[in-house]
Amino acid sequence: MATIAVPIGAQAEQPGAEAVRRPALSEYLRWSVDHKIIGVQYGISSFLFFLVGGAMAMAIRWELLTPALDLMVSGSAYNSLFTMHGTVMIFLFIIPMWAAFGNFVVPLQLGAKDMAFPWLNAFAFWLIPPAAIVVLMGYFVTPAEAGWTSYPPLSTLFSGDGQTLWALGAHLLGISSIMGSINFIVTILNMRPEGMTLWRMPLLCWAVLATSIIAVMATPFLAGALTLLLLDRVAGTTFFDATGGGDVLLWQNIFWFYSHPAVYIMVLPGMGVLSEVLSIHSRKPVFGYRMVGLSSMGIAFVGFTVWAHHMFTSLQPELRIPFMITTMIIAVPTGIKMFSWLGTIWGGKIRFTSAMLFALGFLSMFVIGGITGVMLAALPFDIHVHDTYFVVSHFHFVLFGGSVFAIYAALYHWFPKVTGRMMNERWGRIHFVFTYFGFLFTFFPMHIVGMLGMPRRVAVYDPAFTQWNQLIGISAFVLGFSSFIVVYNVIHSYFRGPVAGANPWRALTLEWATTSPPPVTNFIDDPIPYENPYGYGTEAATAYLDAVDETFRHGGLASSSH
């Protein structure tokens, strides 16, 4: 029989996962340089902000149940509400949540003992709570109401302190993002043990690497724009004031040079999650592994060439066609991933676990978001639906359909590794049904009302759209209710879920080659990666997994051959 290298993993004092100590809850409330603790800290805080942003979304849909002002006392109050909703969801939920999974999973998948810079890793997280306080504090003083994009002259002429606090908080969040991204890049490129070549790296690591490169290159532009905005607000400069020699479109260019690549900061890690979940839960190798990895880098590169499609209505006419072309080109590396995932699950032994259901939900929703993205890339169509609910529908299909569905897939997939307990699959499927149909009937009708001409960012609208908005609102409440299902499932499973064992999914990547949860040092020595992290369906892979299971049954992993 062929020799099989079994990874060197963590020793347990007694056989089985029950012998592994789970960190006390108090450990997550204080400073730690353990990447696993930091990952959970990111995850819990981000999900709390998700609930805050979701509550704001419910208030928005409540207001829009009728065409008149009901819940809000004024249009300004409504402006402040959707400004904070977008800010919380993007800067305090989606981006930090991917840092949560990246922190916990990536070092384990690489076979590393920790991140390259543990102290910097902790510092990057602990910048987020004060930044959040600064942003939210402004909401209770004189709220920002220029939208999450904060376009001048609204953001410069509005005199409330909340807009200034918004900019300061966003500055801190950008610093956190840059520090975390540098850490990921150095860890992935320099902390791999012998045998973990670039072409043996799991695709989540490729996605996080591409995401981190985007963040390091793009976020300084946001920092520069925020600095100019703050100077205009507090120091009397006129960078964005045409009457003083400035240019109001300067903000749009700098902001979107960051914020369109930032879309991929929010989506690329989800694409990495999909490659993991679809392969493992369909027991099939990833179709076109190298092309999927390189397509992440392609998205990172092309993503910097498309920012001005957000400005088609204000852009010089001669620049519109080039940006229309680059916007359509970026669909190519995304299409590579889509067809790869379809090829991966085709003919596989699919297990419809909760993680798999949310991954398939991602596929269907992100395809819709991608198709509407190509529609919006067409200049005449974009001008027709600019600032309508069609745009709102598109970016929610991309960001909720492409990020939140993947976040849920990652949660159900790696929860056993984080806690040592399995999540309840029955509640997971119920959660999926409420989320999927609540989301679909909330945002798909927005395509229709958008093409019919309903503008976004208004609280008072044409009564002809009332029934559509009532359907959207009721569906949004269903979607909001789904969040409570997953909260219950997480809490119940943490305390009473079945013991997971080291490798409940029988996966080949290295995070499953240690105990659940992993010990402080992850592995007792440098682990030996399997030759193909997605080599399912072969006798060699089956024999390898059987050997790993056998060593765990005898009290932990040790280096051996079979």
Is the distance from CB of 126 to CB of 31 less than 8 angstroms? yes
Q: What CATH number should be reported for the domain holding residue 332?
A: 1.20.210.10
pTM exceeds 0.85: yes
Q: What are phi and psi of 477, to 5 degrees?
A: -65, -35
Residue ranges for the chain with pLDDT beneath 70: 1-20, 159, 553-562
Q: How far is the CA of 179 from the CAs of 121, 215, 297, 310, 560, in angstroms?
A: 7, 10, 20, 28, 39
Nearest 5°: CA angle at 26, between 25 and 32?
105
* Residues spanned by the domain of 407: 30-551
- State how far the alpha carbon of 259 is from the alpha carbons of 10, 497, 513, in Å: 41, 40, 38
- Give the 3-state secondary structure of 233-245: HHCCCCCCCHHHC
Contact at 8 Å (CB) between 400 and 442?
Answer: no
Would you say residue 535 lies in a domain?
Answer: yes
Does residue 34 fall inside a structural domain?
yes
| 303 found inside a domain | yes
Evaluate whether residue 542 is within a structural domain: yes
The three-state secondary structure class of 201 is: coil
d(CA 443, CA 458): 17
User: Which pLDDT does position 55 carry in this prediction?
Assistant: 96
Phi and psi at 421, nearest 5°, equal -125, 150
Residue 37 burial by Cβ neighbours in a 10 Å radius (0-12, 13-18, 19+): buried
Is residue 559 a part of any domain in this protein? no
Query: What region does 93 belong to: left with phi over 0, alpha with psi -120 to 50, or beta?
Result: alpha
Tens-digit pLDDT profile for residues 79-107: 999 999 999 999 999 999 999 999 999 99
- The answer to whether residues 309 and 324 touch, using CB atoms and an 8 Å cutoff, is yes
Measured between alpha carbons, how far is 398 from 268 in angstroms, rounded to an integer?
Answer: 11
Domain count, the chain: 1
Residues facing 11 on adjacent strands: 556
496 part of a folded domain = yes
- Does the residue 385 lie in any domain? yes
- The pLDDT assigned to 160 comes to 81
Could you tell me if residue 459 is inside a domain?
Answer: yes
* Alpha carbon 272 to chain centroid, angstroms: 10
Structure tokens at 195: 């045998």
Tokens encoding 539:
């006798």
* Contact predicate 456/389, CB 8 Å: yes
